[in-house]
Structure 1
Amino acid sequence: MPAPVPYRPLPLDLSDVRYAHGPDSSPRADVPAGETVGLRWASSEVYPGTSRRVWIHVPAHRDDAGPAGLMVFNDGGWYLDPAGEVRGATVLDNLVHAGAIPFTIGVFVEPGVVVGTEQPKNRNVEYDAFDDRYVTFLLDEVVPLVTDRYPVTDDPERWGVCGGSSGGNAAFTAAWMRPDRFRRVVCFLSSFAQMPGGNPYPELLPRVARKPLRVFLQAGHRDLNWDAPTRNWLAENLRVGAALAEAGYDLRLVLGDGGHNPNHGGVLLPDALRWSLGPRPAGAAGGA
């Protein structure tokens, strides 16, 4: 059955494009607000000496909803902020209430800070690296903060990671390294271009057996260095998208007109979650 899309003229001036949020990005009078629990984690073994905030958001749900799915949001404070561009908790509340996604707990994780050092922010160390440290940190240190408090499913088809910029490539790398745990991935304007040693995925994807991932990618026409021959955020996102498509992955790629900011990704989040957390269509890549 066709899916009609309303006509919208393309913006001709791309210097400062801003997308309008849809109804699922704002609180609704008929939707009960979920519960948000704020924690501080300063006992990391993966990233010693770091401290960070973690928020667990549990949408209101039916008593018979069963164990929750899990969606981790990198840059947790930005993605949780109800007045920001992404508004993750509000979106989860609306989608769970409407039955648009299964009951899913949101885990909003801040990058670490190393107190008392010249460069206290540990964000790029954690997010841009091509290794399994960050996903190990999530699985060994963050997820238990949730499972100790709430019943969570073990089904990796209901576990996902979401992030933007460096948080986007961190989300992709987490799922790439541990598809046995995280299989749903949402990446906005990922900073593949600044990964130490270069973006590994365009060359890696054709050479590695297809993994059971469902990947939502968003890229921007005016992302960083969009018209440069090197360190081009737009080009690197498109290269990853092309490699995923050629390898037969379950992929959704959305190209917008904005620059390197969270506006378009935030506007897309409700549909990104509907798609990524929804059932796979027949014949889509998946399974163990």
Structure 2
Amino acid sequence: MTTQVPYRPIPVDQSDVRYAHGPDSVVQPGVPAGETVEFHWTDSTTYPGTTRKFWAHVPASYDPAEPAALMVFQDGRLYLDPDGEVRGGIVLDNLIHRGDIPVMIGLFVDPGVYDDVADAQRRKNRNVEYDAFDDRYVGFLLSEIIPQVMERYSVTEDPDRWGICGGSSGGNCAFTAAWLRPDRFRRVIGFLSSFVQMPQGNPYPDLIPKTARKPLRIFLQAGHRDLGWNKPEWNWLANNLRVAAALAEAGYDFRLVLGDGGHSPNHGGVLLPDALRWLWRA
């Protein structure tokens, strides 16, 4: 089957590009809104001293008798904000209502902060959690956060129905979570992933070809004018392209969408409905 794509002129000047949201990112008449439940976590053993909020977005069609799929989003507040660029809850409501994706609970998790630290930058634990190349963060999700949701809601144990999404450092975090724990997460979305910020450098271009293919389905988005786009080092664009090339050569089920603009959640947010449809296709 051939898909006809409408003609769209590309911008000549890429310095300030903004993508318009589609109808799946806007509240639609007749689509029932899901319920968003807020949690506050102050007792972490993985990241002692941190506090954070997280939210479970439960679709209107959720039925406790039918275990739901699970989709985890990093930077939860940003990705859930109905007036923001991503609008995760609205997108899930629209796609689930139409049957484009299975009934799933969206879990939106904020990074930890140290409330007793005065310095604004040192308060944030985001880069420690998201940029590390180890299983500490995914273990945190599996042992501390997800169990609280599963106590309250019926969620499938099938790893083929668990996904994880993030942007910037949250994007490489999502990739690492699935890479290290494909027994739990097998569907991945990474928007403008900050592979370049990983403490020992980006391991994936070398690691992917040397490792037996994992049962992952991966959607990546990169930007022509992402950070350091024309620099020999600390180049966000180049590192995303290298990861995509390694996935292609290793035969992964993956998709790369390359857009214009800089390090902004706009393009990834606009793509989220299509990314979810592609990720959860049969």
Q: TM-score, structure 2 length as denominator?
A: 0.97
1:285 alignment counterpart = none
Aligned to 1:173: 176
Letter in 1 for 2:217: R
2:97, 2:64 → 1: CA distance? 13
1:215-274: per-residue Cα shift (whole Å, max 9, x none)? 000000000000000010000000000001100100010000111000000000000001
After TM superposition, list the pairs within 5 Å mapping 1:225-264 onto structure 2. Answer: 225-264=228-267
| 1:14 shift after superposition | 0.4
Instruction: Determine the C-alpha separation between the residues in 2 that align with 1:240 and 1:196.
Output: 17
Give the letter for the 1:167 counterpart: G
Q: Which residue of 2 aligns with 1:46?
A: 46
Runs of 4+ in structure 1 displaced over 6 angstroms?
none
Deviation at 1:64, TM superposition (A): 8.6
**CA RMSD between the two structures:** 1.0
Matches within 5 A, 1:248-287: 248-279=251-282
Correspondence for 2:85: 85
Q: CA deviation at 1:60?
A: 1.1
**8 Å contact from structure 1 (residues 214, 250) kept in 2:** yes
Amino acid at match of 1:194: Q
SS in 2 for 1:56: strand
| Structure 1: segments with no counterpart, 5+ residues | 280-288
Q: How does 1:145-160 map to 2 (within 5 A)?
A: 145-160=148-163
Tell me the alpha carbon deviations over residues 59-117 of structure 1, each in whole angstroms, 9 at most, x when there is no partner: 11164982100000000000000000000000000000000000010000000001222
Letter matched to residue 238 of structure 2: A
Q: Distance in 2 between matches of 1:72 and 1:260?
A: 22
**Counterparts of 1:58-97 in structure 2 under 5 Å?**
58-61=58-61, 63=63, 66-97=66-97
Tell me, yes or no, if structure 1 residue 112 matches structure 2 residue 112: yes
Partner of 1:128: 131
Number of residues paired by the alignment?
279
Partner Cα distance (2:94, 2:145) in 1:
25
Structure 2 distance, partners of 1:137, 1:261, is 27
Aligned mates of 1:261, 1:190 — CA distance in 2: 11
Q: For 1:200 and 1:239, locate their aligned partners in 2 and report how far apart those are by CA, in whole Å.
A: 10
Unaligned 5+ segments in structure 2 are none
Aligned residue for 1:254, secondary structure, equals strand
Q: Does 1:98 align with 2:98?
A: yes
In the other structure, the counterpart of 2:9 is 9
